[in-house]
Amino acid sequence: MVKTVLITGGAGFIASHVAAALLRHGHRVKALDNLDAQIHGTERKPPGYLDRRVELQIGDVRSPKAVRRALSDTDAVVHLAAPYRPAIDISGVDETRPLSFHSPYGCSKGAADQYVLDYARGYSVEAAVFRMSCIYGPHQYGTEDQGWVAHFLISALQDMPITIYGDGKQVWDLLMSTI
């Protein structure tokens, strides 16, 4: 059965890969994106890597009108729009695992995750939280603040200097796509 899936933040790096996978499985894909991350000069353009079969609606997830319009004739939502994190139906860490955050940043992310889970439970909506961080793969570009892995790799490939803040002993994990 073909489902219509809306991807919020649909013009983004991860969203483009999710859209491609959904299209390969025969689904209809709609994307809602304000294109803030895609600004080229003064003109906002969809990224060239976004599959032409994706029905792009330019709008902001903070606009109830834009969201209502995008949700019409939609069976499922993959929420990837910033500043929120994705909520997709996957198997992950059991929700009975106790929360343990070690920074205000981690606490804010954990609180957002909990809002999604509590909303889903309260309104009988199927949802799961999949928090991705430090990801690099095709179509991703970054800055020191957002997408630092891409920024480091692209800078290294272009023989540009890399600035490391702090004492240089920070440890991060990362996910890498080979698609």
Taking the chain (179 residues) in runs of 10, the rounded mean pLDDT of each run is: 91 88 95 74 61 92 93 93 50 61 79 87 86 70 73 86 80 62
Judge if 67 and 22 occupy the same domain. yes
- pLDDT, residue 31, reads 95
Tell me which residue range forms the domain holding 107.
91-128
Q: List residues with catalytic annotation.
A: 105
Q: Provide the token pair at 1.
A: 């059965």
Judge if 138 and 159 occupy the same domain. yes
- pLDDT, residue 45, reads 58
Q: Does an H or E element contain 108, and which?
A: helix 104-122
Judge if 116 and 98 occupy the same domain. yes
Judge if 8 and 77 occupy the same domain. yes
- pLDDT, residue 5, reads 96
Counted domains in the chain? 3
Q: Residue 131: name the closest of 66, 175, 169, 72 by CA.
A: 175
- pLDDT, residue 21, reads 93
Domain boundary among 84, 100, 117: 84
Judge if 173 and 101 occupy the same domain. no
Which pTM value belongs to this model?
0.64
Residue 20, amino acid: A
Residue 27, amino acid: H
Beta-carbon contacts of residue 55 (< 8 Å; ≥ 6 apart): 28, 29, 30, 31
Judge if 31 and 10 occupy the same domain. yes
In three-state secondary structure terms, 58 is strand
Q: How many residues does the chain have?
A: 179
- What's the CA gap between 9 and 72, in Å, rounded? 17
To the nearest 10°, report the CA torsion of 74, 81, 52, 64: 50
Judge if 9 and 79 occupy the same domain. yes
- Which CATH number is 36's domain given? 3.40.50.720
Judge if 40 and 64 occupy the same domain. yes
- pLDDT, residue 156, reads 87
Judge if 33 and 99 occupy the same domain. no
Judge if 102 and 172 occupy the same domain. no
Residue 62, amino acid: R
Judge if 79 and 11 occupy the same domain. yes
Judge if 9 and 75 occupy the same domain. yes
- pLDDT, residue 76, reads 93
The DSSP letter of residue 137 is -
